[in-house]
C-alpha cells in the first residue's frame, strides 16, 4: 500500500502560539550556554570532584534517543517490518534533530566552546571522544542522505542506507557507552557491558519517544493513527526494556561480586541516599518495570493513555539510568590507596555532593525544547507525516500490494 505524506496543516494561530511557547523553552539553551561561557562553570554545580554534570547526561541521552529513532526508522526497509513504514521519515527526521541537539549539548558544555574546530584538526586515535567526533559527524550526514533517499523514492538506496544507518547507530552509541566503559580507574564506570547496555537503552527510549511523538503529531494535526501501531510499538518497548534490565542486572552483580568493589557497589545499591533511591525507584521500578509490564500486557497496552504514561516513565527511566551511570562514579571518591583513609584540602577521600543546578536544568530543558521546536517546524515545512497511518500485518500488506499491482 502506498503511503501518502503531506505537510501538516494546522490552525496557524494555534501553531504560532505553540511554536512561541516551545521556542521560549528552547531559547533557555543558548541563554544558559552563553552564561556558562561568560561566567565559567562556577555557575553550575560541576566541580573538580564532579567535572561532568547534567549537560553530559543530557547529551548522551539525546544521542541514545537519536540512535534508537534511526534504528526504528530503518525497521521497515531493513528488517521488513512493513507496519512501521508510516513513521520511517518522522523517525529519521527526529534522529537527525536529536543528534544535532546532542552535539550542541556536548560542545556548549566545554570550557572553551569557541574552540569548536580544534577536534577536526587535532586527532587522538586512542581517545573515545576523538573517535566519536568522527562517528557523530558522519552519523549526522548519513541521517540527511538517508532522508533524501526516502524522499526521492530511491528504494534500493534507502535499503542500503538504512542498513548502514543501523550499523552506524549501533557504533555511535557503543562509542558513547565506551566513553565511560573505558574509564578503568573508576570502578563504577569501567565495564565492557556499558556499550551494549547503552544500545539497549537507546532502543527502549527511542521506541518510547516514537510512541509519544506519533500520538501527539497525529492528534494535533487531526490525522488518523491506528492505535494498533502504538500497541505494537509498546510491545517492542517492553522487549527492549527486558534487555536493558538484563544488562543492568549482570553489570551490577558482576561488580558487587568482587570484595574490592564492596564499597562502590553498596554505595550505589544500598546506602547512597538519593542515588540509591533513584536507582531502585526511579530507574528499576517506575522507569523500567512499570512500562515493561504495560508494554507487554496486551490488555494494558491497548489503553492508549496508559501506554503514553508508560512511555513517559520509560523516557524518564532512561534519563535516570544515564544520570546513575554518569554521576555516582564521580561522587564516589577516587581511590588513591586501597588500604588507607585519606583526606586533604582538595577533598580527597570525601564523597562529593552534587545536585543539578538551576542553570543545568535550564540548559537541559532548553535542549529538549529545541528538539520539539525543530521537529514541529520540519513537519510543517516538509511532507514528513503520512496523511493517515494504518497498521497492517505483513500478510495484509502483501495482499494490498497484490491488489495494487493487479490494478496497474
Partner 1 sequence: MTIDRREFIIIGATVAAGTALSAVTPALSHTVAGNQSPLDVPPSAASGKNQWGMVIDIAKCTADCTACTDACRKENNVPLFGDPKRDIHWIRKLTIRQKGVPNATERYLPAMCFHCEHPPCAHVCPVAATFRRKDGIVLVDKHRCIGCRYCMVACPYKARSFVSQHVEAGPDANPNAPIRMHGVVEKCDFCVHRIDAGKEPACVEACRQAGNGAMVFGNFGDPDGEISRIVATGEAEQLRADLGTNPRVFYTHL
- The residues that touch partner 1, with contacts defined as CB under 8 A, are 37, 39-42, 46-49, 51-52, 106, 110-113, 115, 118-119, 122-124, 126-130, 132-133, 179, 182-186, 189, 330, 334-348, 352
Q: Please report how close the Cβ of residue 120 comes to partner 1 at its closest, in angstroms.
A: 9
Q: Which is nearer to partner 1, 37 or 246 (CB)?
A: 37
Distances in whole angstroms, Cα of residue 229 to Cα of each of 125, 288, 344: 43, 21, 58
Q: Which is nearer to partner 1, 41 or 302 (CB)?
A: 41
Q: Which is nearer to partner 1, 146 or 354 (CB)?
A: 354
Q: Please report how close the Cβ of residue 375 comes to partner 1 at its closest, in angstroms.
A: 28
Q: Please report how close the Cβ of residue 359 comes to partner 1 at its closest, in angstroms.
A: 13
Written as nine digits, the cell of 241 is: 526494556
Distances in whole angstroms, Cα of residue 332 to Cα of each of 17, 198, 328: 46, 22, 6
Q: Which is nearer to partner 1, 24 or 118 (CB)?
A: 118
Q: Which is nearer to partner 1, 83 or 264 (CB)?
A: 264
Distances in whole angstroms, Cα of residue 124 to Cα of each of 60, 107, 129, 130: 21, 18, 9, 6
8 Å CB contact between 295 and 234 = yes
8 Å CB contact between 111 and 155 = no
Q: Which is nearer to partner 1, 128 or 288 (CB)?
A: 128
Written as nine digits, the cell of 135 is: 562517528
Pairing type for strands 5-6 and 385-386 reads antiparallel
8 Å CB contact between 64 and 207 = no
Q: Please report how close the Cβ of residue 405 comes to partner 1 at its closest, in angstroms.
A: 53
Q: Running DSSP on this structure, what letter comes out for residue 225?
A: E
Half-sphere exposure of 49 (CA within 13 A, CB side): 19
For residue 320, how many other CB atoms are within 10 A of its CB?
Answer: 21
Return d(Cα 287, Cα 295) in angstroms, integer: 12
Q: Please report how close the Cβ of residue 327 comes to partner 1 at its closest, in angstroms.
A: 11
Q: Which is nearer to partner 1, 7 or 186 (CB)?
A: 186
Q: Please report how close the Cβ of residue 262 comes to partner 1 at its closest, in angstroms.
A: 13
Phi, psi of 224, rounded to the nearest 5 degrees: -85, 130
Q: Please report how close the Cβ of residue 71 comes to partner 1 at its closest, in angstroms.
A: 26
3-class secondary-structure state, position 222: coil
Amino acid at each position: 500500500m502506498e503511503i501518502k505524506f503531506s505537510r501538516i496543516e494546522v490552525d496557524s494561530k494555534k501553531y504560532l502560539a505553540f511554536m512561541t511557547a516551545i521556542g521560549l523553552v528552547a531559547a533557555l539553551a543558548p541563554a544558559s550556554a552563553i552564561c556558562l561561557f561568560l561566567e565559567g562553570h562556577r555557575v553550575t554545580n560541576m566541580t573538580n570532584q564532579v567535572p561532568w554534570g547534567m549537560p553530559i547526561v543530557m547529551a548522551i541521552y539525546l544521542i541514545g534517543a537519536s540512535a534508537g529513532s534511526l534504528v526504528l526508522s530503518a525497521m521497515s526497509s531493513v528488517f521488513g517490518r512493513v507496519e512501521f513504514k508510516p513513521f520511517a521519515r518522522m523517525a529519521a527526521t527526529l534522529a537527525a534533530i536529536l543528534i544535532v541537539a546532542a552535539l550542541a549539548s556536548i560542545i556548549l558544555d566545554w570550557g572553551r566552546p569557541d574552540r569548536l574546530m580544534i577536534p577536526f584538526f587535532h586527532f587522538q586515535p586512542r581517545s573515545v571522544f576523538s573517535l566519536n567526533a568522527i562517528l557523530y559527524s558522519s552519523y549526522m550526514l548519513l541521517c540527511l542522505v538517508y532522508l533524501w533517499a526516502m524522499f526521492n523514492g530511491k528504494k534500493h538506496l534507502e535499503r542500503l542506507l538504512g542498513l548502514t544507518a543501523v550499523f552506524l547507530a549501533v557504533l555511535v552509541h557503543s562509542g558513547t557507552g565506551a566513553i565511560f566503559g573505558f574509564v578503568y580507574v573508576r570502578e563504577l564506570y569501567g565495564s565492557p557491558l556499558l556499550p551494549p547496555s547503552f544500545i539497549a537503552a537507546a532502543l527502549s527510549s527511542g521506541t518510547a519517544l516514537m510512541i509519544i511523538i506519533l500520538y501527539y503529531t497525529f492528534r494535533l494535526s487531526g490525522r488518523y493513527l491506528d492505535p494498533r501501531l502504538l500497541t505494537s510499538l509498546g510491545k517492542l518497548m517492553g522487549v527492549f526494556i527486558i534487555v536493558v534490565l538484563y544488562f543492568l542486572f549482570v553489570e551490577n552483580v558482576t561488580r558487587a561480586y568482587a570484595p574490592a568493589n564492596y564499597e562502590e557497589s553498596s554505595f550505589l545499591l544500598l546506602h547512597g541516599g538519593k542515588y540509591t533511591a533513584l536507582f531502585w525507584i526511579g530507574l528499576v521500578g517506575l522507569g523500567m518495570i512499570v512500562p515493561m509490564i504495560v508494554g507487554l500486557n496486551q490488555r494494558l497496552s491497548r489503553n492508549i493513555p496508559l501506554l503514553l504514561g508508560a512511555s513517559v516513565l520509560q523516557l524518564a527511566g532512561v534519563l535516570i539510568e544515564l544520570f546513575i551511570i554518569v554521576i555516582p562514579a564521580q561522587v564516589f571518591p577516587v581511590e588513591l590507596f586501597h588500604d588507607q583513609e585519606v583526606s586533604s584540602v582538595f577533598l580527597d577521600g570525601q564523597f562529593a555532593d552534587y545536585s543539578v543546578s538551576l542553570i543545568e536544568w535550564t540548559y537541559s530543558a532548553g535542549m529538549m525544547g529545541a528538539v520539539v521546536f525543530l521537529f514541529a517546524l520540519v513537519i510543517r515545512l516538509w511532507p514528513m507525516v503520512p496523511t493517515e497511518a494504518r497498521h497492517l500485518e505483513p500478510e495484509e500488506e502483501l495482499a494490498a500490494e497484490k491488489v495494487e499491482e493487479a490494478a496497474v
